Structure 1
């Protein structure tokens, strides 16, 4: 297994399989048995196959850097950055490397030095074949293949077929390698894997190699392809989940004998002072340190040893964006049962009481902002309605007997100290932050924010967040508010004598602001990048700011939630590999220790640490089920 999805096609040379992965590594694997010869960390995802000539391996990464390695040792010979996207594999021929560069240029590099010899517009001849470049893709002008005809036989195929030994091999996004008879294109069998297969298979010395979105590189062998081969070992008894790219030793503190990548699941045979004795895919044994022993698999969750109980809480069908009450006795949520329309919209607010399992409708309302807020005493819920082009702040009592319209405004959030609400009002080029009591008294504007950038259409605003002592309000302002295009977090003093501060970023959007219980730390998520660069990161990052020291720690990706005592921050990290999906981490603030709590093979919506110290994992299902749009089912898994 590699550390990311594999979309690149394998290349076989000198009894070695060469393949790049989205984890940013290029691997040289043994062709006849499991194991690495070497791997090279390029630091950026590799989407396309490499090319070999004169004992040199050439490939490029998503940040537009071209590499030349010694194919035998993996040592770097040179690297060269080009000025735009490369959207197809390199071609190595006659001492040159040819690249298609967005949108219609062909770069020709010297194989030995990496020097750019020429930049040719649109077309060139390589080995007697005329190639053209469009949209950064370098391809023959008149390809001589039957790829499209074969693809039509295989649903959801983006792979190119390979013909060998009387068979056609082609992958599909349904998660399989298909083997067809060359004579009549009849399917002989299909080999299912854990993710889509976009890569073009490679055939070498009676074996077929291909990569998958599940992160694995597969090798199938056999004199006849009429029988489905084995998919490798499956652990009996105890198993462990490998964390990060990990060395495997012949004994604790001994010699390194192999490397295994993050996400590999191995049979676990012994533990010794933090060391784990595992069985490798080739049948050999070794010791490693970075692993999570798996206790059991339940509800698509890989649950570690030591967690014995997993409670389940199902909300009323259509419930989404749930939030626990501060006393831990109730869950409130908007109910979305009508799925028509362009925008997310709910018509009711409901509450579920886990102790009894009963659910109750609190009120009807026209809701486009799904974020609700509990009062500290768990007696009131604040929410926003939108009707007749006007947004209002409302509160409803926990039992539904008291419903009050408080004021005009958006994105309400209850104070951590009293029955006060902070909210926003946005009108054209001005946003503002306000506070008000739930009876409508004490209305006061805290801050006016001019929108100096390019305003974007929005469905709803994200609520400001009170500090635990009620003295500061943190509000996220996206890049559209500023000429720089860079988002900021404003820390606004609610009372006199409290200095307001600005937290700068280099991203477009800020969300999921969360204070630690003692008010010392602020967690928040940044996403987007104001620079239009080929190598610009676009995924989410979770930031943890120490308010006192201004030190910042960065994690991947989202949904920060604090333990009640403030010692731990839990968060979710998305994994692009099919079959893993999400990892849940626990970070201990005082020690800086990060521990993998569990792995989800299914979808996770968010995490929520409950007042009694348990952690709730919320899962909201998809709308399309059985070929029809249906209200979502949200389930909480509590551990």
Structure 2
């Protein structure tokens, strides 16, 4: 029997039915989704825990490491700088909002956004503010009576909108730009050293997607369900591609991957797309079986790897045709974007498991670790060790928004992993909804 699409509240199914980053440029690009390969080929499974660092909020931000320091944001409003060897905090920088944006680094400056409505540039050496840029305000997507939930007069934040846009640094010669989207509907380009506005581009909805730059183009999508290709220097539209807008299946949260003249990305419309990078014309699309694709894809050896929500899988797709090569099944939603090292791909799921998969095994060789919270709460939260929205609802009326929120909080208690991993010095780092940044050794 087909599993209910648990990324939508159960009530939604009473009123609807369904049918069954690896980019290279002439200019330098610095962002937290860049290629994360470390020394040595072969399979490098997860080994022992090196350390874990506790914050006072859930972690949705993805870490980045440079010069022996790993940086990440937390829902507690701090950006943390933590020593890679010891797991000891070197400094932390306070904002006035949750940090769901992932940081990027250029030279000795780290850039990130906060729900206080500002994007920041901070000195990596001492954690001192260099500049901040105020947007028109950052907020979740939401509406009264979202998706028909009750009460219809209540304003409801989208429960599956985990991120705001993460900044990307673009360096071309002596100049450098910081590019990011905003909940105010704009894509911004600011001077990397001063924070002065260079240009902005207006879309038709909040932009929580993260930019990717290839050659002279910036690619970014948002809640208007449209992917835009803009000129990186001037912000002029080159082309746009519209995805579907059916209720519950609207919006682009992932970043693109660019390879061999193609742009790859997923959306809440349950498809994964391949477009021509020059024209924006669709080459192929993959039917994700009513499953959102919020994960950003990575590409290796003509294979696209990307996570799905309700089919609980990491997909391996043929980059040329979109044909499914295989799927690796896990225990819950895969919103974490994968990272590759050697012949191994790493990613987390919403139940608090973190996986390593041998890319040469066609999904047959893998290992995983679980958060401590998952070990503690899995038996009471999961059904047969799988995420099940109705089961976790404990007979609550899921036509009410507040009951859906309670289910999500139960899932978060497992230590859900929507933070994407970063690999440095044979160590893999990822954040969890249990508030910990984890550092695990990888087998050499």
Counterpart check, 1:588 vs 2:362: no
Give the aligned partner of residue 200 of structure 2.
406
Superimposed CA distance per residue, residues 155-192 of structure 1 (whole angstroms, 9 cap, x where no aligned partner): xxxxxxxxxxxxxxxxxxxxxxxxxxxxxxxxxxxxxx
CA distance in 1, matches of 2:48, 2:132: 41
Change in CA separation of 1:637 and 1:330 when aligned onto 2, cut-off 3 Å: farther
CA distance in 2, matches of 1:546, 1:414: 24
Stretch of structure 1 that moved more, 550-559 or 312-321 = 312-321
Change in CA separation of 1:520 and 1:473 when aligned onto 2, cut-off 3 Å: same
CA distance in 2, matches of 1:333, 1:511: 20
Contact 2:191 2:197 in 1 (8 A): yes
Higher helix share: 2
Give the aligned partner of residue 94 of structure 2.
316
TM-score (norm 2): 0.53
Superimposed CA distance per residue, residues 294-313 of structure 1 (whole angstroms, 9 cap, x where no aligned partner): 66875579xxxxxx945355
Gap regions ≥5 residues in structure 2: 5-44, 56-83, 141-163, 374-413
CA distance in 2, matches of 1:618, 1:585: 14
CA RMSD of aligned residues (A): 4.2
Superimposed CA distance per residue, residues 465-493 of structure 1 (whole angstroms, 9 cap, x where no aligned partner): 03245x222232434xxxxxxx1112111
Q: Matched residue pairs, number?
A: 291
CA distance in 1, matches of 2:177, 2:314: 30
Counterpart check, 1:521 vs 2:304: yes
Of 386, 390, 395 in structure 1, the residue corresponding to residue 189 of structure 2 is: 395
Give the aligned partner of residue 273 of structure 2.
490
Counterpart check, 1:420 vs 2:214: no
Give the aligned partner of residue 570 of structure 1.
346
Alignment partner of 2:337: what SS? strand
CA distance in 2, matches of 1:499, 1:461: 16
CA distance in 1, matches of 2:262, 2:128: 37
1:638 CA drift (Å): 4.3
CA distance in 2, matches of 1:350, 1:616: 23
Of 287, 311, 314 in structure 2, the residue corresponding to residue 542 of structure 1 is: 314
Matches for 1:240-279 after TM superposition, within 5 Å: none
Give the aligned partner of residue 552 of structure 1.
326
Alignment partner of 1:590: what SS? helix
Contact 1:329 1:353 in 2 (8 A): yes
TM-score (norm 1): 0.39
Gap regions ≥5 residues in structure 1: 1-42, 45-61, 64-290, 302-307, 337-345, 480-486, 528-536, 576-581, 622-633
Superimposed CA distance per residue, residues 35-72 of structure 1 (whole angstroms, 9 cap, x where no aligned partner): xxxxxxxx99xxxxxxxxxxxxxxxxx99xxxxxxxxx
Give the aligned partner of residue 349 of structure 1.
119
CA distance in 1, matches of 2:273, 2:254: 13
CA distance in 1, matches of 2:183, 2:370: 39
Contact 1:323 1:372 in 2 (8 A): yes
1:500 CA drift (Å): 0.9
Superimposed CA distance per residue, residues 308-365 of structure 1 (whole angstroms, 9 cap, x where no aligned partner): 94535555354422424376966533223xxxxxxxxx41122455554445543111
Of 179, 184, 190 in structure 2, the residue corresponding to residue 382 of structure 1 is: 179
CA distance in 2, matches of 1:352, 1:613: 27
Contact 1:608 1:617 in 2 (8 A): yes
CA distance in 2, matches of 1:297, 1:412: 31
Contact 2:339 2:420 in 1 (8 A): no
Higher strand share: 1
